[in-house]
Amino acid sequence: EAGVVQSPRYKIIEKKQPVAFWCNPISGHNTLYWYRQNLGQGPELLIRYENEEAVDDSQLPKDRFSAERLKGVDSTLKIQPAELGDSAVYLCASSLGPGSYEQYFGPGTRLTVT
Amino acid sequence: GESVGLHLPTLSVQEGDNSIINCAYSNSASDYFIWYKQESGKGPQFIIDIRSNMDKRQGQRVTVLLNKTVKHLSLQIAATQPGDSAVYFCADRTNFGNEKLTFGTGTRLTIIP
């Protein structure tokens, strides 16, 4: 079974530029998460989707971050414009659905903003 | 707010020895705990979990102990192998139905050959 797929794996951009990350969750997983992981820290939740609905986006900086999961499968996370402090690893995870505790993580996208 | 933290940021263990990674949490309402392993350049990988109605759970070479009295969680790895070298995170969930996990900072475990 394929795991969570993310692309790109690495991205280097200049500040004020836009950037987008893509995630394909495990087949059949209804819940999708986007996390940000700063160097030496644990992942921090940005947004959680149940199918196509964002049910928890309280930690998403909405002035510059946006996300979508239009058909309830793949998801994109966008930053526009990027700031130096956005440099981090952006992780996508998925789980079967509400009540399913185990989250499966993708390899992440390492973003460097210069 | 809730917090999940680790006592030690780094831990070095001789290959073959047992290792213990500790974690403290602050929210007494946490009902579920999970340990993840993260190797360099990879996403976190599930190791073992435990619900708050248990105090011990065993997996293959790993055991998680939960002490709710002192809000302490530990991960024991038996007979460590070089492949166990990674960063280990504990995470907790505050209540049933809330799928949000709060992760601690992590402990880097290094296995010395």
Average pLDDT over residues A36-56: 92
d(CA B64, CA A37): 24
Contact B103 A101 (CB under 8 A): no
DSSP code for A41: S
- Count up the domains in chain A and report the number: 1
What whole-number percentage of chain B has pLDDT above 70? Answer: 88
Task: With respect to residue A113, please indicate whether it lies within any of the assigned structural domains.
Answer: no
pLDDT digits (tens, 9 = 90+) for A66-103: 999 988 899 999 999 999 999 999 999 999 887 777 89
A31: which chain B residues are within 8 Å (Cβ-Cβ)? 99
Average pLDDT over residues B51-76: 96
Contact A105 B34 (CB under 8 A): no
Chain A nearest-CA distance from B44, in A, is 6
Q: Quickly tell me which residue has 């360099």 as its tokens.
A: B40
**pLDDT score for A70:** 85
Task: With respect to residue A36, please indicate whether it lies within any of the assigned structural domains.
Answer: yes
Task: With respect to residue A17, please indicate whether it lies within any of the assigned structural domains.
Answer: yes
Task: With respect to residue A39, please indicate whether it lies within any of the assigned structural domains.
Answer: yes
Rounded alpha-carbon distances, angstroms, from residue A108 to A27, A43, A47: 18, 11, 15
Rounded to the nearest 10 degrees, how much is the dihedral formed by the CA atoms of A67, A68, A69, A75?
Answer: -50
Judge whether residue B10 has pLDDT over 50.
yes
**pLDDT score for B68:** 93
**pLDDT score for B3:** 47
User: What's A91's domain CATH number?
Assistant: 2.60.40.10
| Structural domain span for residue A43 | 5-108
Architecture in CATH of B4-95+102-112: Sandwich (2.60)
Judge whether residue A58 has pLDDT over 80.
yes
pLDDT digits (tens, 9 = 90+) for B24-59: 998 888 889 999 999 999 999 999 999 999 999 999
Judge whether residue B6 has pLDDT over 70.
no
pLDDT digits (tens, 9 = 90+) for A4-22: 999 999 999 999 999 999 9
Please provide the average confidence, as pLDDT, over all residues in chain A.
94
Q: Which residues of B touch A (CB under 8 A)?
A: 4, 32, 34, 36, 41-46, 49, 89, 91, 93, 96-97, 99-101, 103-106
CB-based contact A94:A75 (threshold 8 Å): no
**pLDDT score for B2:** 37
Contacts A–B by Cβ distance under 8 A: 55
B73, B93, B99, best to mutate vs chain A, most A CBs in 10 Å = B99
Task: With respect to residue A80, please indicate whether it lies within any of the assigned structural domains.
Answer: yes
Average pLDDT over residues B48-73: 95
Task: With respect to residue A114, please indicate whether it lies within any of the assigned structural domains.
Answer: no
Contact A42 B106 (CB under 8 A): yes
